[in-house]
Structure formats: structure tokens, C-alpha cells
Amino acid sequence: MHPVELDEFPTAKDCKVRLAEAEAAKASELARTSAAVEQEKRELLKKLQEPSGVSDEDRLERAKAIIKRAVSAGKTEVLVGRFPNTLFTDKGRAIGQVEPGWQSTLTGLPKELFEFWQSHLKPRGYRLRFEIIDYPGGLPGDIGVTLSWN
């Protein structure tokens, strides 16, 4: 057995310093990750606020495929989108209160989906429902958009 030299043995202070450095590195990494996630959210929100560029023909093809798949699975409705409440001019308040004229609070992609439904799917008997689907901290969160045919 080799004797341990005391000058190679870490002091309690050395251990505290190493632990503090490790904690600081973890906190720094968490901050970098958090900043990257927030940047991705901002970019996605910006994209959802802008026109999608999807033609009605393409959207009809997508809707047809989604509906066929759901019907084959025995479903009578399908969630077609989940959006942050910040895409709505009142953060979803009118939707949550089921107020007349709630449609005027829509912006970006949710508005496009509503207009597409109104023009192409509503005349075929489909229904579209906008509802708050989560309440983080007791406040309205994301808005779900569900297409149904029952």
C-alpha cells in the first residue's frame, strides 16, 4: 500500500471551491439552455404570427389525410393545432368566456385555420372548436383547435 502524501490530499476549502465551481458551471449551462429555448419560442411565435404561405389546395389535401386517418382509427374529432395564448389579442380570454365575437381575437395561423374551416370545411358539416387546454399557474395557457365531424 502506498502512503498518501498530505500535500496531495485536498483541504476542506479545496473541496468547497470545487463544488462551487461545479455548481457555477451547471448554472451557466442551465442559463445557456434556457436562453436557447426562449429564443426558439420567440422564433416559433414570430413564424406563427406571419402568413403560413400554405395554399388552400395543400391545406385541403392535409385536412383530407388527417380526417381519413382519424376516421380509420374510429375517432370523431382531431386536435389540429395547439397555440400559445399570446397569438390571440386577448390571450384567449374571449375564447375561455365563450364570448360572441371571440373570432376577432385570432391572429396568424389560428386565424388562417378558422378562415379555411369557414370557407371549405364548415359547408361540409365539420365543426371547429377553439378552447383553452391548459391552465399553468391557474391562468389560461395554450389554445387547442379541434376539428370534429360527429
pLDDT band at 24 (very low <50, low <70, confident <90, very high): confident
The reported pLDDT for the residue numbered 67 is 95
Q: What average pLDDT score do residues 22-33 get?
A: 85
The reported pLDDT for the residue numbered 54 is 86
With 90 as the cut, is the pLDDT of residue 30 above it?
no
pLDDT band at 35 (very low <50, low <70, confident <90, very high): confident
Q: What average pLDDT score do residues 58-64 get?
A: 94
pLDDT band at 48 (very low <50, low <70, confident <90, very high): low
φ, ψ dihedrals at 144, nearest 5°: -100, 145
> What does the domain layout of the chain look like in residue ranges?
6-49, 56-148
The reported pLDDT for the residue numbered 31 is 82
Strand partners, 83: 143
The reported pLDDT for the residue numbered 46 is 74
Q: Where are the beta strands (DSSP E) in the chain?
A: 77-83, 127-132, 143-148
pLDDT digits over 90-134, tens only? 999 999 999 999 999 999 999 999 999 999 999 999 999 999 999
Q: Which residue has the higher pLDDT, 53 or 73?
A: 73
Out of 12-16, 49-53, 142-146, pick the least confident: 49-53
